[in-house]
Chains A and B, each alone.
Chain A
Amino acid sequence: MKNRVRELREKREWSQGELGERLAVSRQTVNAIETGKYDPSLPLAFKIGKLFGQRIEALFEFDEETR
């Protein structure tokens, strides 16, 4: 799944650790989400969306090739 988490985080000048703290996940989990190696659960995706003031569809894009 492609996502805009890194772009939005960098826009706010947050480190991965800072974002992790806000989402109550580890820095490594943030990194795995940003690099597309891990697709977050629905509650976590909603939490990310709420934090950045975005709808989930605007944040995550389903990528058929990576399935």
Chain B
Amino acid sequence: MSRTLVMDSFLLADAESVVARARAGDAAALEAIYRAFEPPVYNLARRICRSVEDAEDVLQETFFEVCRSIRTFRAEGSLWGWIRTIAASKALMRLRRNKYRDTDELHDEVVAFRREDVGLRMDLEAALERLSDTARAVVWLHDVEGYTHDEIAALMGKTTSFSKSQLARAHQRLRRWLGEEAVA
């Protein structure tokens, strides 16, 4: 059984029956799905988005879409996998819409300006927050959510090698900011 299918039964008891009722338009079943998957959806959104407000908007947009489209969900798949892809897609869309300062040039300027930080051991949360939006999204989707580079590329509308290079850059920076010694 895949990790996402395990998540379904872990988060939502009797998931099959709840989904069947939700597909028939049962409001209580839709709310049960929201209650079960709100925490992981919000966590994903908050880790990808820059602000609490954006993450909360993504949470609302995700469940609005889930409730509207539950009839199209194929019951043999993982409910969490389906919801998570909607959430990731909405979060990435939000990043694009906000057009945050996300170029490597700008990012490197900031790093150079705050050079005094180098050598200090940063907290992992702070280091993650400090990554560029794209790098943070890639590292989260790949290392935490378990998406493959092909899947991330499809979600972002980029190439697989773009996803790989973003992950490598993210790890280079995390390694430096966390004060871990590089060998190579």
Tell me, yes or no, whether A binds B. no
